[in-house]
Amino acid sequence: MRTAFGLAMAAGIAMALFAGGPAGAADLYTVKGVHVDQTAKSSAEARTIAQGAAQSLALSELLKRLTLPEDWPSLPQADARTAADAVRGFAVASEKTSSTRYIADLNVSFQPEAVRQMLRARNIPFGETQARPAVLLAVLDKAGTRILWEDQNPWRDAWAAVDLADAVTPLVMPMGDVQEFTTVTAAQAVAGDKAALAALAARYGADAVVVAYGVTDAAGSKLDVTVTRYGPSGPGTPIRGSYQATGAAQNGDAFMTMAKSAASSTLLALGEPWKRETVVRAGEEAQLTASVFYSTLDQWESIRKALGNAPLVESLQIEGIAANGAEVDIRYRGTPDKLALSLSQANIALAQDAGGWSLRLK
């Protein structure tokens, strides 16, 4: 145990965390923009059927969000009963009704513990740690003309219609003001210009930019996609895909449907490397004692809050506290490396040296 600071021992001071699910992982358990279109004998019946279908679709999407692709064949069936038992609530983002038809986009939230139990019962590893957000640049090449910041960029619109904030690797759309027009051009984005992308990332307090480059023909009947994440260590492995529009080639709705499908599937693929670093497998549970170092009570509060929001932390007990440091016992899921990675997303450094474990602001 470290003695670098005097501790006023406070045995018995404990914090029970996550009574309603981990705060840091709460957004992961909400699926936004689930589209339903149902016809029945009445609008009320259509609404009831559609809402049940939305819950099933949302649960299916959530289970894939949390798990690795090789485990998807083993996922539980997201039937209406299973989904209803796990739902925490839902909200209507938009809706249209007629006497027999109900069309809506719904946001569905699930009970974290109910979903965890589904996955644990099948021994499926899952991750609940969100990466820090990256900035998204959606460049569209239409018949040889590249657009990025222009008002009419349907590729950017397709990404904006996807739930970017609640992914395991969340993305933020830049504002697209005059300064950004000159910071990164479409050509620089496609080329992966290191200085330009770093300048844009810094503006949003991010350390990475994701460039989604879509190439389509004049009719907009197909879309070839290359998506690359540029971070401090350089570009990641590009994700590529080809998509075909259904319906008339000149139909704008057909292009948008194709583009949304491309954005959704690519966003899921972007999260795969991160999930491989953060998924927790059965039996990965441990406890450690750490010395917390800080200069002010505000810093201590930031560290304490980060521990309370960390999805891997099951409970925290404060063993002692003083003006410039504390001693805490942490019970957590996963491995020390995964806990450190999770905490680093909140700018908290967990490290081990000859003196033991320590926690401090990065």
- The answer to whether 8-19+281-361 and 134-270 have equal CATH topology is no
CA-nearest of 333, 351, 213, 249 to 285 is: 333
The C-alpha atoms of residue 135 and residue 208 are separated, in whole angstroms, by 7
Spell out the per-residue pLDDT of the chain, length 362, in tens.
444 434 443 333 333 332 333 333 348 999 999 999 999 999 999 999 999 999 999 999 999 999 999 999 999 999 999 999 999 998 999 999 999 999 999 999 999 999 999 999 999 999 999 999 999 999 999 989 999 999 999 999 999 999 999 999 999 999 999 999 999 999 999 999 999 999 999 999 999 999 999 999 888 889 999 999 999 999 999 999 999 988 654 456 889 999 999 999 999 999 999 999 999 988 888 999 999 999 999 999 999 999 998 999 999 999 999 988 999 999 999 999 999 999 999 899 999 998 899 999 98
Phi-psi region of 42 (alpha: psi -120 to 50; beta: other; left: phi over 0): beta
> Which residue ranges make up each domain of the chain?
8-19+281-361, 25-121, 134-270
CATH classification code of 134-270: 3.40.50
Q: Contact, 166 vs 31, CB < 8 A?
A: yes
Going by C-beta distance under 8 Å and a sequence separation of 6 or more, which residues neighbour residue 70?
none
Assign domain 8-19+281-361 to its CATH architecture: 2-Layer Sandwich (3.30)
Note the pLDDT of residue 14. Answer: 37
- How far CA 143 is from CA of 139, 203, 216, 221, in Å, comes to 13, 32, 6, 11
Note the pLDDT of residue 252. Answer: 61
pTM, two decimals, is 0.83
Note the pLDDT of residue 96. Answer: 94
